[in-house]
């Protein structure tokens, strides 16, 4: 019973507060705007505004600009010093690729007239057995990898490595030349 009585008292207090609040809102809305209110910043305000605490209103701030959804396309110019094939490495690559092609051709020439001859290089043997297309492609891929490694050595931070960048491709080209010479020497035997 006590809780019901407490609830009724609270409901009555809330109803009274609502009535007072609605009456004050009605009197504000019905107040004439003929200069009887308070003048603030050159505007005529009702008397109740004068009783409110002073609040400064910040000036309107422009919203930040929305970034464009499209990005400009910038084509980076490639520095000539970082090209893989330049004046120094392109002739070396040409010699390397030529020696690889001649080595592969000599291998197939020898296998045409020597039935007991086999490819001695265990890494190249599967490609030689697969046919000329696979052998040339594998040789080109391997030699391009060597040229890329030489390119990285040429642009290394280490000055000693920068000075010996050409040793790998020259050594491989010499190896191809030796293998080609060896293949054609088998014909004389």
What is the model's pLDDT at position 67? Answer: 61
Residue-wise pLDDT for 122-167, tens only, equals 898 999 999 999 999 999 999 999 999 999 998 888 999 989 999 9
- In degrees, rounded to 5, the angle at the alpha carbon of residue 111 between the alpha carbons of residues 106 and 112 is 100
- In degrees, rounded to 5, the angle at the alpha carbon of residue 128 between the alpha carbons of residues 125 and 112 is 115
Q: How far apart, in whole angstroms, are the C-alpha atoms of residue 52 and residue 81?
A: 74
What is the model's pLDDT at position 155? Answer: 87
Q: How far apart, in whole angstroms, are the C-alpha atoms of residue 28 and residue 58?
A: 26
Q: How far apart, in whole angstroms, are the C-alpha atoms of residue 158 and residue 177?
A: 30
What is the model's pLDDT at position 167? Answer: 94
- Using alpha carbons, select from 157, 165, 153 the residue that is nearest to residue 92: 165
Q: Answer yes or no: are the C-beta atoms of 151 and 140 closer than 8 Å.
A: no
Percentage of the chain exceeding pLDDT 70: 56
Residue-wise pLDDT for 84-122, tens only, equals 777 788 899 999 999 999 999 999 998 888 888 888 888
- In degrees, rounded to 5, the angle at the alpha carbon of residue 21 between the alpha carbons of residues 16 and 25 is 150
| pLDDT > 50? residue 31 | no
């Amino acid at each position: 019973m006590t809780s019901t009585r407490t609830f009724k008292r609270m409901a009555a207090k809330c109803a009274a507060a609502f009535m007072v609040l609605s009456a004050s809102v009605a009197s504000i809305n019905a107040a004439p705007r003929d200069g009887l209110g308070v003048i603030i910043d050159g505007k005529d305000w009702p008397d109740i505004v004068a009783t409110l605490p002073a609040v400064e209103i910040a000036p309107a701030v422009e919203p930040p600009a929305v970034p464009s959804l499209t990005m400009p396309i910038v084509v980076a110019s490639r520095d000539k010093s970082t090209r893989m094939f330049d004046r120094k490495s392109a002739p070396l690559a040409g010699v390397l690729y030529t020696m690889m092609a001649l080595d592969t051709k000599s291998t197939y020439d020898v296998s045409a007239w020597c039935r007991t001859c086999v490819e001695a290089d265990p890494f190249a043997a599967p490609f030689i057995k697969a046919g000329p297309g696979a052998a040339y492609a594998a040789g080109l891929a391997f030699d391009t990898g060597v040229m890329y490694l030489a390119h990285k050595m040429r642009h290394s931070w280490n000055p000693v490595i920068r000075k010996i960048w050409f040793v790998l491709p020259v050594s491989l080209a010499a190896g191809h030349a030796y293998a080609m010479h060896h293949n054609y020497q088998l014909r004389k035997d």
